[in-house]
Amino acid sequence: MSTLLKDVYNDAFFNHFTASLSKAVPKFNKQAFLSAVLDAEWPARELKQRMKHIATVLHRVLPGTYEDQLGVIDRIIAHLSENRRNDHGFEYMFFAEFVELFGPPHVEASLRAIESITQFTSCEFAVRPFIKAHPEQLMRQMLAWSEHPQHTVRRFSSEGCRPRLPWGMALHALQKDPSPILPILENLKNDPSEFVRRSVANNLNDIAKDHPALVLQIAKSWLGRSAETDWVVKHGCRTLLKRGNAEALALFGWAETAAVQIKNLELKNHTFPIGAHLEFAFELQHDGDGPCDLRLEYAIDYLKSNGKHNRKVFKITENSYHPGEVYRISRRQSFQDMTTRKHYPGLHRLAIVVNGKDHDGVEFELL
- Name beta bridge partners: 68: none
pLDDT at 37: 93
The per-residue pLDDT of the chain, averaged, comes to 90
How far is the C-alpha of 127 from the C-alpha of 109, rounded, in Å? 13
pLDDT at 199 over 90: yes
Question: Which residue, of 251, 281, 310, is where some domain finishes?
Answer: 251
Q: What is the mean pLDDT of residues 59-86?
A: 86
pLDDT at 258 over 70: no
Query: With the C-alpha atoms ordered 103, 97, 116, 185, is the resulting torsion angle positive or negative?
Result: negative
Q: What is the mean pLDDT of residues 312-331?
A: 88
Strands 260-267 and 277-286 come out as antiparallel
pLDDT at 135 over 90: yes
Q: What is the CATH number of the domain that holds 273?
A: 2.60.40.10
Looking at the fold, whether 211 and 273 belong to one and the same domain comes out as: no
Angle at 76 between CA 72 and CA 78, to 5 degrees: 115
Angle between helices 94-102 and 107-117 (to 10 degrees): 170
Spatial neighbors of 62 by CB under 8 A, at least 6 apart, are 25, 68, 69, 72, 73
pLDDT tens across 95-114, in order?
999 999 999 999 999 999 99
Distances in Å between the alpha carbon of 103 and those of 97, 112, 163, 177?
9, 11, 22, 26
With residues binned 3-state (H G I as helix, E B as strand, rest as coil), the percentages for the chain, rounded to 5, are 45, 20, 35
Looking at the fold, whether 337 and 235 belong to one and the same domain comes out as: no
pLDDT at 157 over 80: yes
pLDDT at 168 over 70: yes
Looking at the fold, whether 239 and 287 belong to one and the same domain comes out as: no
pLDDT tens across 200-216, in order?
999 999 999 999 999 99
pLDDT tens across 12-24, in order?
889 989 988 888 8
Looking at the fold, whether 246 and 295 belong to one and the same domain comes out as: no
Looking at the fold, whether 181 and 296 belong to one and the same domain comes out as: no
Question: Coil, helix or strand for 147?
Answer: coil
pLDDT at 361: 85
Question: Which residue, of 213, 230, 251, is where some domain finishes?
Answer: 251
Q: What is the CATH number of the domain that holds 11?
A: 1.25.40.290
Looking at the fold, whether 85 and 168 belong to one and the same domain comes out as: yes
pLDDT at 83: 66
Number of domains in the chain: 2
User: Highest-confidence range of 26-35, 111-120, 247-256, 328-337, by mean pLDDT?
Assistant: 111-120
pLDDT band at 163 (very low <50, low <70, confident <90, very high): very high
DSSP annotation of 88: -
What is the rounded (10 degree) CA torsion for 344, 356, 287, 331? -30
pLDDT at 85 over 60: no
pLDDT at 87: 46
pLDDT band at 84 (very low <50, low <70, confident <90, very high): low
Domain span at 108: 5-251
How far is the C-alpha of 258 from the C-alpha of 266, rounded, in Å? 22
Looking at the fold, whether 227 and 306 belong to one and the same domain comes out as: no
Spatial neighbors of 161 by CB under 8 A, at least 6 apart, are 127, 131, 139, 142, 171, 174, 180, 181, 184, 203
Looking at the fold, whether 79 and 206 belong to one and the same domain comes out as: yes
pLDDT over 90, % of the chain: 57
pLDDT tens across 262-285, in order?
888 888 888 888 988 989 999 888
pLDDT over 70, % of the chain: 98
> What DSSP line would sit under 25-64, residue for residue?
STT--HHHHHHHHS-TTGGG--HHHHHHHHHHHHHHHS-S
Q: What is the mean pLDDT of residues 279-306?
A: 87
pLDDT at 117: 95
Spatial neighbors of 36 by CB under 8 A, at least 6 apart, are 57, 60, 61
Closest to 38 measured CA to CA, from 19, 22, 57? 57
Question: Coil, helix or strand for 77?
Answer: helix
Angle between helices 30-37 and 47-61 (to 10 degrees): 140
pLDDT at 89 over 80: no
pLDDT at 86 over 60: no
How far is the C-alpha of 254 from the C-alpha of 262, rounded, in Å? 17
